[in-house]
Amino acid sequence: MSELFVGLMSGTSLDGVDAVLADFAPAIPRVLASTCLPYPAALRQSLLELNLAGHDELRRASELSVELARRYAEASLAVIAQAGLEPVAVRAIGCHGQTVRHQPAAGYSLQLNQPALIAELTGLAVVSDFRSRDIAAGGQGAPLVPAFHDQVLRSAGRHRIVLNVGGIANLSDLAPDRPTRGFDTGPGNMLLDAWAARHLGKTYDAGGAWAAQGAVLPKLLDRLLAHPFLALAAPKSCGREEFHLGWVEPMIPAGADPADVQATLLELTARTICDAIARECGKPDETWVCGGGVHNTRLMERLAALLPGTVGSTAELGLSPDDLEALAFAWLARQTLRGLPGNLPEASGARGPRVLGSITPA
């Protein structure tokens, strides 16, 4: 039986689809091909709008699901072709979908997706809707990557953190003497991207260069740090519902320099991550960063300054920071097909381990 799986991740940053083709035959999975299919500006905007309540949501959501599924299929076929293979060599696709609502307390987390269309366009089985079962079992449905980190990134002697800085930041706490835990720390790139879009007309502040020109506004930072989510004990998860520009704007002092606001938002991301690590994880020996935030040089500098121990990219562990989340969803699809759990109750808060996902046959 083939151990080749495609993993597809499209996160809250709304930047595009990350795809990997991975071979799970070796103990440390081998990435055979990977790609990122960026969203065109119009799609990104439509998805952003759908994150808020609005007119005719069902039609807009349904139409966007179809458009997304075509991109998911295209990304899947692209990585398979890149590896010089045919789809028939692949066992299944694990597809996260695109989150537009995350309300675990109300019993749901909604990812736009059309797995039937992906199966039709690729000829492959698709595993999707990974979060619902965990939520049904009383969990947050997030984060789901810690179980994968637990499998492949544990160290026998070193206390490791794997920190994923996507739109939201989440981490896995891999301590040698206790079970792996995980949780969302709060904003990752999301607020930085939104402020950069408004003032630079760009989808992100490359390297954090603009933030680095500004000075942190201490009063604004203190007010942002008072967000109630940040004081909650783990396990916990969050989304655009909690952290968005509409929350920040009323607190910005009149006449503030936009670069200073960007510097403050970057410091908010760094501080919320480091405060959460200090409170929930203790003193790690190593923190390995993945997700798009690893390319934000200024953010990495701040993390290195605020955290104890080594801070670096997961690339140093042989796993590309840009592939890791998509790789986790390939692994999660494999768990589903093997009838094995994909969640970690210590990370999601679920009542117990559960086999996640829905299977759409090939």
Ligand X SMILES: Nc1ncnc2c1ncn2[C@@H]1O[C@H](COP(=O)(O)OP(=O)(O)O)[C@@H](O)[C@H]1O
Q: Which of 7, 13, 190, 259 binds Mg ion (CB under 5 A)?
A: 13
Stretch that binds ligand X, among 199-207, 236-244, 257-265, 330-338 (CB under 6 A): 199-207
Query: Which residue has 């810690």 as its token pair?
Result: 146
Stretch that binds Mg ion, among 3-11, 134-142, 144-152, 271-279 (CB under 5 A): 3-11
Binding mask 161-180 for ligand X (x = CB under 6 A): -----xx-------------
The distance of closest approach from Cβ of residue 324 to Mg ion in the complex, given in angstroms and rounded to an integer, is: 12
The distance of closest approach from Cβ of residue 33 to ligand X in the complex, given in angstroms and rounded to an integer, is: 18
H or E segment to which residue 114 belongs: none
193 binds, among Mg ion, ligand X, none (CB under 5 to 8 A by kind): ligand X
Rounded Cα–Cα distance for residues 193 and 211 (Å): 11
Distance of CA 261 to the CA centre of its chain: 24
Stretch that binds Mg ion, among 7-15, 55-63, 181-189, 351-359 (CB under 5 A): 7-15
Tokens representing 248?
Answer: 């920040």
Q: Which of 143, 291, 342, 345 binds ligand X (CB under 6 A)?
A: 291
The verdict on 96 binding ligand X (CB under 6 A) reads no
Find the binding residues for Mg ion in span 23-42 (CB under 5 A): none
Residue nearest to ligand X (CB): 292
The distance of closest approach from Cβ of residue 263 to Mg ion in the complex, given in angstroms and rounded to an integer, is: 24
* Strands 286-290, 160-165: pairing kind: parallel
Q: Is 94 helix (H, G, I), strand (E, B) or coil?
A: strand
The distance of closest approach from Cβ of residue 18 to Mg ion in the complex, given in angstroms and rounded to an integer, is: 6
Find the binding residues for ligand X in span 315-334 (CB under 6 A): 325
Full DSSP string of 128-191: E--HHHHHHTTS-----SHHHHHHHS--SSS-EEEEEESSEEEEEEE-TTS--EEEEEEESSHH
Q: Pick the closer one to ligand X by CB: 38 or 246.
A: 38
Find the binding residues for ligand X in span 200-229 (CB under 6 A): 204-208
Residue 286: phi, psi to the nearest 5?
A: -145, 140
Residues that contact Mg ion, how many (by CB under 5 A): 3
Q: Is 286 helix (H, G, I), strand (E, B) or coil?
A: strand
Find the binding residues for ligand X in span 2-21 (CB under 6 A): 11-13, 15, 18
The verdict on 260 binding ligand X (CB under 6 A) reads no
Angle CA(200)–CA(98)–CA(337) in degrees, nearest 5? 145
12 binds, among Mg ion, ligand X, none (CB under 5 to 8 A by kind): ligand X
H or E segment to which residue 282 belongs: none
Q: Are 12 and 193 in contact (CB under 8 A)?
A: no
Distances (CA, A) of 263 to 26, 136, 226, 252, 272: 43, 39, 18, 13, 14
Stretch that binds ligand X, among 24-32, 40-48, 285-293, 310-318 (CB under 6 A): 285-293
| Spatial CA neighbour of 43 closest among 5, 73, 70 | 70
Q: Are 154 and 146 in contact (CB under 8 A)?
A: no
Q: Which of 4, 15, 35, 134 binds Mg ion (CB under 5 A)?
A: 15
Residues found near ligand X in the complex (CB under 6 A): 11-13, 15, 18, 166-167, 189, 193, 204-208, 291-293, 295-296, 325
Binding positions for Mg ion, rule: CB under 5 A: 11, 13, 15
